[in-house]
Structure 1
Amino acid sequence: MATMKDIARIAKVSTSTVSHVINNSRFVSEEIRERVLTVVEQLNYTPSALARSLKVKETQTIGMLVTTSDNPFFAEIVASVEKYCSRNNYNLILCNTDGDQYRLEKNIQTLIQKQVDGLLLMCTESSFQTRAFNLSIPTVIMDWWPTELNADKISENSINGGYLATKALIEKNHRNIAIITGNLKKILAQKRVEGYKKALLEANIPIKEEFIIESHFDFDGGIIGMEKILQLTNRPTAIFACSDTIAIGAYQTAWKYGLSIPNDISIIGYDNIQLAQYLSPPLSTIHQPKNTFAKLAVETLISRIKNNEKTYRTLMVEPRLILRESIKTI
């Protein structure tokens, strides 16, 4: 493999001159530049990313840690993050803990040891009791993290999202509205319930505690939550599922019991994953702007990497309502 020394010897210039030509770091006469670049082409020289990273103390690499793998929402977020990393000439190293706290801590240490320039952290596990890491590299928390960190935060307005979902059902004349939430130890679950209650109170609809079903943000959570709802003596006419995965599980249970959506029960989800539009019937949902979310996270992290800013920011993206055929007017 050719080196800068080989190029310098053949081009009859110094190694530092070769470096300046390749990195465009200082003026070099056009004659010498052409001579060096001709040799570079002849030798098929490729600069060493490792050597550059040791010199400039940057690896052009971002580490991302996600704590779940079976929710399409997170797969879509990761795809958007990778897109914006690439656009900014950064590589992405993705680590997934699959709900394992030991793997979470090990992966953070591994990413730090690999000298990533910054970290994106996205946690979904409310059961984690993660010790406080003293992270010395730029970090952005996407949505939520179980411990306090000196980091920028990108979040979504879950209160407004919960409000929009419930209001959409109310505007279709539903007054008996249940909610299937994720684990209520998690802040975004609490906020979506808060938005749900806000919409009910605004419409002078009494809040029924038996209609608030705590479950999990996954397909099984929707199955379990819907089973509980169908066992109620006074069944609701509509359900706000706090994620599209919950809604899909609820669809499965409704089918199992021979119920028709929306004729027997209306459902609205949350996240607007790509699959939502292909369900039968297509699922009404709350759209999380995943591209915007990812773009903000990546650009905020790169800004911190390059500028070493002193103050930490909390940025919020706004959800919007997507109406499809899963809600019936009564």
Structure 2
Amino acid sequence: MATIKDVAKYAGVSTSTVSHVLNKTRFVSEDISVRVMAAVEELNYAPSALARSLKVNHTRTFGMLLTTSTNPFFGEVVKGVERRCYQQGYNLILCNTEGDLDRMHDNLDTLLQKRVDGLLLMCSEMEGSVFDPFSRHQPVPTVVMDWGPVDFPSDKIQDNSHHGGYLATRHLIEQGHTRIGCLTGPLDKLPAQQRLSGFIQAMEEAGLEINKQWIASGNFECEGGELAFNEVFERGELPTALFVCNDMMAMGVINTANKKGIKVPEDLSIVGYDDIKLAKYITPSLTTIHQPKHRLGQQAVDTLLDKIHSKRATNTVIQLEPTLVVRDSVLNLNPTDTI
């Protein structure tokens, strides 16, 4: 395998001149540049990314820690991250934490040992723990994404989950529903807390009773929706509508209700959260709260690049606003005008 010294010897120039031609770090005459590039092609020379990173002190690589989940929400966010990294000429090393704190720390050590230029954190297991990723490493620019550690001082990209919960519940109220329940995610997670608080605000503003018998928690997966719905079902009379705090749980609810002979939306209206791609293809298609997942991933990369290039010491919080997507899972109970 040819080295930079071989290229320099073949072209009759110094190794530093070869480096300047390849990296465009200094003006080199056209004649010499042509000779160097001809030598590169003739010798089939491939520059060492590792050697170059050691010299320029950056690797053009980002590391991302992600909580593994069957929820397509995470995959759609990662797609946005990967696309933006590619557009900006960066590589991405993705590490799944499997929801395990020890594995998260091991993955983090590996990423920092590989000298990534920056970190993207989307690990819900960090919440509530004392988190110092740089206790054994030199700090690197870091962006915490939605579902990341809340108290860690860094740039943050967040979904306005409170407003999303408010929008979902408000839609049910506007469709004439007054007996409304809420199936939340794990209430030790900030997004679940915020979506529930949005539900409560909308109910209180409308002067509607919040029946605790119609509130239950799941795990943001399909089986969590099934278990939470069964919990409410076994307590007695059902509400006419449920705000289910993510689409995966909502799909579990629809499936479980159907097995019990409960039709959606005729007997039970449902609003989900996330607007994953599957949401419009289930039956009935799911009314839900749209999160800009690709934009969340792209914005995280852009924020990390800004942190690197500007070398700013201050941290910023960017909040992305959710929107309501109306489909077929909510029945309008408002009386219609008749002639």
Which bin holds the TM-score, normalised by the shorter protein?
A: over 0.9
User: What is the deviation of 1:69?
Assistant: 2.5
Contact kept, 8 Å, 1:141 with 1:154, in 2: the verdict is yes
Whichever residue aligns with residue 107 of structure 1, its letter is N
User: What is the deviation of 1:204?
Assistant: 1.3
- Match of 1:77, SS state, is helix
The within-5 A match list for 1:257-268 is 257-268=260-271
Residues 209-263 of structure 1, C-alpha deviations (whole Å, 9 max, x = no match): 2222122111111001110122232310011110001101101211221221111
Indicate the residue corresponding to 2:17 in structure 1: 17
Indicate the residue corresponding to 1:165 in structure 2: 168
Tell me, in whole angstroms, the C-alpha distance in 2 between the residues paired with 1:306 and 1:249.
45
Contact kept, 8 Å, 1:68 with 1:124, in 2: the verdict is no
- Match of 1:267, SS state, is strand
User: What is the deviation of 1:25?
Assistant: 1.0
- Match of 1:64, SS state, is strand
The within-5 A match list for 1:171-250 is 171-250=174-253
Whichever residue aligns with residue 42 of structure 1, its letter is E
Counterpart selection for 1:295 from 277, 294, 298 = 298
Counterpart selection for 1:137 from 132, 136, 140 = 140
Indicate the residue corresponding to 1:105 in structure 2: 105
The within-5 A match list for 1:30-45 is 30-45=30-45
Whichever residue aligns with residue 290 of structure 1, its letter is K
Residues 170-194 of structure 1, C-alpha deviations (whole Å, 9 max, x = no match): 1110111111001111111111111
- Match of 1:125, SS state, is helix
User: What is the deviation of 1:48?
Assistant: 1.0
Distance of aligned partners of 1:324 and 1:147 in 2 relative to their CA distance in 1, 3 Å threshold: closer
Indicate the residue corresponding to 2:79 in structure 1: 79
List runs of 5+ in structure 2 lacking aligned partners: 334-339
Whichever residue aligns with residue 174 of structure 2, its letter is E
- Match of 1:62, SS state, is strand
Tell me, in whole angstroms, the C-alpha distance in 1 between the residues paired with 2:214 and 2:231.
10
- Match of 1:282, SS state, is coil
Which shifted more, 68-77 or 124-133? 124-133
User: What is the deviation of 1:86?
Assistant: 0.7
The number of residue pairs the alignment matches comes to 330
Contact kept, 8 Å, 2:158 with 2:318, in 1: the verdict is yes
User: What is the deviation of 1:97?
Assistant: 1.2
- Match of 2:163, SS state, is helix
Tell me, in whole angstroms, the C-alpha distance in 2 between the residues paired with 1:255 and 1:234.
17
Counterpart selection for 1:321 from 316, 324, 328 = 324
Contact kept, 8 Å, 1:223 with 1:250, in 2: the verdict is yes
User: What is the deviation of 1:127?
Assistant: 7.4
Aligned-pair identity (%): 49
Contact kept, 8 Å, 2:66 with 2:122, in 1: the verdict is yes
Indicate the residue corresponding to 1:153 in structure 2: 156
Indicate the residue corresponding to 2:92 in structure 1: 92
- Match of 1:315, SS state, is strand
Contact kept, 8 Å, 1:156 with 1:317, in 2: the verdict is yes
Residues 9-68 of structure 1, C-alpha deviations (whole Å, 9 max, x = no match): 111111111111111111111111111111111112221110110001101110000122
User: What is the deviation of 1:147?
Assistant: 6.0
TM-score (structure 2 length as normaliser): 0.94
TM-score (structure 1 length as normaliser): 0.96
Indicate the residue corresponding to 2:277 in structure 1: 274
Tell me, in whole angstroms, the C-alpha distance in 1 between the residues paired with 2:47 and 2:87.
20
Indicate the residue corresponding to 2:61 in structure 1: 61
Tell me, in whole angstroms, the C-alpha distance in 1 between the residues paired with 2:177 and 2:286.
17
Contact kept, 8 Å, 1:124 with 1:144, in 2: the verdict is yes
Tell me, in whole angstroms, the C-alpha distance in 2 between the residues paired with 1:70 and 1:100.
16
- Match of 1:94, SS state, is strand
Tell me, in whole angstroms, the C-alpha distance in 1 between the residues paired with 2:153 and 2:241.
41
- Match of 1:233, SS state, is coil
Tell me, in whole angstroms, the C-alpha distance in 2 between the residues paired with 1:126 and 1:151.
14
Whichever residue aligns with residue 19 of structure 2, its letter is S
Whichever residue aligns with residue 198 of structure 2, its letter is G
User: What is the deviation of 1:291?
Assistant: 1.4
- Match of 1:21, SS state, is helix
User: What is the deviation of 1:130?
Assistant: 4.9
C-alpha RMSD of matched pairs (Å): 1.5
